Amino acid sequence: MKTDQLNRSPLHLLHRAGQSAGNIFRAERTGNLTPRQLVVLMTVAQSEGLSQTGIVDSTGIDRSTVADVVQRLVKRKFLQRRRTREDARAYAVKLADEGWRVLRTAEPLAKRVDQRVLDALPTARREQFIAALLAIVDTLERMTAQGKPRA
């Protein structure tokens, strides 16, 4: 693929943008958290007792990755898990005290990363950019859920 083709490839450009944002995130020293780990902590903070399936549904992160992230965060004592009463196979997840502490430190740093990413665009285009990303995610997730063939 020629370079000009790569520069017109949404898949490639989204990947590069994600890598760049991840590099900025790591540079902020967000408590040795990955962006996905932070997303899981933020999601659990908003919905204490959420199941791992609920985290998948809320974040769009695949089931096996959520299981791995939750396990790592439990080992680090950021999250606590317990079996639910309704389904003995499911875990309810909540933030441990250390998780709340880390989240209070990491959230402002993550907001700064978000702002640095948005600062790459003129102010007038920032809301359009977020709306376009949401439209892409919503449409592609619906297509996947409906089992439509990938073009």
In-domain check, residue 126: no
In-domain check, residue 123: no
The region of weakest confidence among 67-71, 114-118, 139-143 is 139-143
Give the model's pLDDT for residue 2.
63
CB atoms within 10 A of CB 137: 11
In-domain check, residue 41: yes
In-domain check, residue 140: no
Average pLDDT, the chain: 90
User: Residue 76 sits in which domain range?
Assistant: 3-106
Q: Structurally, how many domains does the chain consist of? A: 1
In-domain check, residue 88: yes
In-domain check, residue 40: yes
In-domain check, residue 137: no
In-domain check, residue 119: no
pLDDT class of 76 with cuts at 50, 70, 90: very high
CATH of the domain at 32: 1.10.10.10
The predicted-structure confidence for 79-115, as pLDDT tens digits, reads as follows 999 887 777 778 899 999 999 999 999 999 999 999 9
Q: What is the DSSP letter of 82?
A: E
**Is pLDDT of 149 > 60?**
no
Burial degree of 41 (CB within 10 A; 0-12, 13-18, 19+): buried
Give the model's pLDDT for residue 108.
92
Burial degree of 116 (CB within 10 A; 0-12, 13-18, 19+): middle
Question: What is the C-alpha separation between 132 and 39, in angstroms, rounded?
Answer: 20
